[in-house]
Amino acid sequence: MNIGFQGIEASNSEEAAKIFANKLNIKNANFIPLTTSQNVADKLKENEIDFGVFAMKNKLGGEVVETKNALNGNEEIFQKIDTLILKVHHSVFKKSKDVKEQDLKIIASHIQALLQTKNFRKTHFPSLQEMEVEDTAIAAKYLAEGKLNSDVAVVCKKEAGLMFGLDLMYENIEDDKENLTEFGIFVRKE
């Protein structure tokens, strides 16, 4: 059974997909990283995946517009079979220990993570410009691979930053310690 999810390995959506697989007793699940909600919807529509996992809404960031747009017009095709609430934590990473905090100019992440960490960033990084990327974990990957300059910090799940060998600056930076995100798992209607 193929379960497609927004994001890449070490993303919150991957964690949600694994919880759904366990909760729904889906054996031998293959977890397919699809980066965006639109990609998940497209692959589900084309029957290339059996299940699609989407972030639906967040306590701080509100409705996930990317998901709303991807699901729009597919109400006749898709059926939500379950939901779960996941407590989401964010961390800030820089490229390496050699990069000084005062040399940072930009902070990059998914729009939802930026919304969920607005107050923290206003206090700790008031002069950094925001840069939106497709996923929190992909921001970490881009920084590690040099696709983002070393003057960029990223907001992502702690596991993602560590997996890509980045330097942890701050953890648990969400503005509300009860930072809850609702995820939904969808199938095609038969």
Residue-wise pLDDT for 35-61, tens only, equals: 999 999 999 999 999 999 999 999 999
- What pLDDT, on a 0 to 100 scale, did the predictor assign at position 127? 97
Provide φ and ψ at 6, rounded to 5°.
Answer: -65, 150
- What pLDDT, on a 0 to 100 scale, did the predictor assign at position 86? 97
Q: What is the pLDDT of residues 145-176, one digit of tens each?
A: 999 999 999 999 999 999 999 999 999 999 99
Question: In sequence order, what are the beta bridge partners of 78?
Answer: 188
Indicate the pLDDT class of residue 77, thresholds 50, 70 and 90.
Answer: very high
Contact criterion met (CB below 8 Å) for 116 and 128: no
Mean pLDDT taken over the chain: 97
Distance separating alpha carbons of residues 91 and 7, to the nearest angstrom: 16
Q: What is the pLDDT of residues 123-146, one digit of tens each?
A: 999 999 999 999 999 999 999 999
The domains of the chain, with CATH numbers, are 2-88+179-188 (3.40.190.10), 91-171 (3.40.190.10)
> Model-level pTM?
0.94
Indicate the pLDDT class of residue 72, thresholds 50, 70 and 90.
Answer: very high
- What pLDDT, on a 0 to 100 scale, did the predictor assign at position 190? 77
Question: In sequence order, what are the beta bridge partners of 153?
Answer: 107
Q: How many CB atoms lie within 10 A of CB 119?
A: 13
